[in-house]
């Protein structure tokens, strides 16, 4: 029997016995925006490495976002893919702006799965191509992409502290959180960039707040990722306009136009694993060289 087959058999046996070998084995991960795209990828990847998943998504569209958001069927598919790894997945439909709903989800999930070890604050909108340049678009973007992330972390942290095993929080950010390229003065762009910069500040102050509990806080900053957030008419129009305005400087340095969600999941898994046990307060670009130009 070759080595790969032995490893696969050992993993199958461990799953059958209720224990899983993996880099986050036995952990509980709370992931927002989990119904599709990056959120689904992070959920499946962490599950494949032994984590049980709390998968939360709004599962309906909103006016501030110019393309359709995920659905209940999308969330059900995430559950199916996680459970196919042999791990548990509890789905919740909630708006991250709704703190009571987040609290109820955390309470119900921890009662069944135990305390939270990992938070992936991934839920966000991308309204740069919104056709309406209005204050309400800016405000809604801040509410979702910044205040919603604040609500997510504050809902989950008490469980992490009570569990007493430390943990890891990863804020899914953007290269827009580290620079100002692509600005055009419109509400969607201003709101998105302001929120992403604000998340860097929250990440840094949370790293200081939670260090005494051995809870690490970091942010990941991708450039374009091949998800519905990019592949929609409003975003593609904005990208074309930005490229024309910046003379092509909006492209990645490495020869890849869009990264895969799994490419970002690789970095997320490393950050939440013991391999990064002393990494906190870091803004980690996973951007094919976009930011170094």
Q: Which listed residue (150, 192, 238, 278) is catalytic? A: 192
Q: Catalytic residue at 67?
A: no
- Highest mean pLDDT pick, 179-183, 256-260, 289-293: 256-260
Domains of the chain (ranges, CATH numbers): 23-286 (3.40.50.720)
Residue 248 is predicted with a pLDDT of 56
More confident of the two residues 12 and 40: 40
CB 42 within 8 A of CB 265: yes
Which letter, b or e, does each residue of 103-124 get, where b requires 16 or more Cβ atoms within 10 Å of its Cβ? bebbeebbeebebbbbbbbbbb
pLDDT given at position 129:
81
Encode pLDDT of 79-118 as tens digits.
999 999 999 999 999 999 999 999 999 999 999 999 999 9
Rounded distance, CA 126 to CA 182, Å? 13
What's the distance, CA 46 to chain centroid? 12
> How far does Cα 227 stand from its chain's mean position?
13
Which pLDDT value is given to residue 173? Answer: 98
What mean pLDDT comes out for the span 58-65?
94
**pLDDT for 207-241, tens place per residue?**
999 999 999 999 999 999 999 988 888 878 877 77
Asked if the model's pLDDT at residue 18 lies above 50, the reply is no
For residue 10, the model assigns a pLDDT of 39
CB 14 within 8 A of CB 85: no
The pLDDT of 244-248, averaged and rounded, is 56
The C-alpha atoms of residue 4 and residue 18 are separated, in whole angstroms, by 21
Give the whole-angstrom CA distance, residue 2 versus residue 186.
Answer: 58
Q: Determine the Cα–Cα distance for residues 242 and 29; give it in Å rounded to an integer.
A: 36
Q: In the prediction, which pLDDT does 185 show?
A: 81
Task: From 168, 188, 198, select the one nearest 280 (Cα to Cα).
Answer: 168
Angle CA(123)–CA(124)–CA(127) in degrees, nearest 5?
160
pTM, two decimals, is 0.89
Q: Is 91 exposed, middle or buried (0-12, 13-18, 19+ CB in 10 A)?
A: buried
More confident position, 1 or 255: 255
CB count in 10 Å sphere of residue 242: 18
């Amino acid at each position: 029997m070759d080595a790969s087959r032995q490893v696969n058999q050992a993993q199958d046996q461990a799953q059958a016995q209720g224990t899983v070998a993996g880099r986050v084995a036995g952990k509980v991960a709370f992931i927002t925006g989990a119904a599709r795209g990056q959120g689904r990828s992070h959920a499946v990847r962490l599950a494949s490495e032994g984590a049980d998943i709390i998968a939360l998504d709004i599962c309906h569209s909103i006016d501030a976002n110019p393309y359709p958001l995920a659905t209940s069927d999308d969330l059900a598919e995430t559950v199916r893919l996680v459970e196919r790894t042999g791990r548990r997945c509890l789905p919740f439909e909630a708006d991250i702006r709704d703190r009571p709903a987040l609290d109820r989800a955390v309470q119900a999930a921890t009662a069944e799965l135990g305390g939270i070890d990992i938070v992936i604050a991934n839920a966000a909108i991308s309204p740069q191509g919104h056709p309406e340049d209005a204050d309400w678009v800016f405000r809604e973007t801040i509410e979702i992409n910044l205040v919603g992330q604040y609500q997510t972390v504050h809902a989950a942290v008490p469980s992490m502290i009570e569990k007493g095993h430390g943990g890891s929080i990863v804020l899914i950010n953007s290269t827009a959180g580290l620079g100002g390229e692509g600005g055009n003065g419109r509400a969607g762009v201003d709101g998105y960039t302001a929120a992403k910069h604000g998340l860097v500040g929250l990440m840094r102050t949370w790293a200081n707040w939670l260090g005494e509990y051995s809870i690490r806080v970091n942010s990941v900053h991708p450039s374009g990722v091949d998800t519905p957030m990019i592949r929609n008419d409003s975003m593609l129009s904005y990208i074309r306009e930005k490229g024309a305005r910046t003379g092509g400087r909006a492209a990645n340095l490495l020869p890849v136009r869009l990264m895969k969600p799994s490419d970002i999941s690789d970095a997320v898994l490393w950050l939440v694993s013991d391999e990064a046990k002393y990494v906190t307060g870091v803004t980690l670009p996973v951007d094919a060289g976009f930011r170094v130009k």
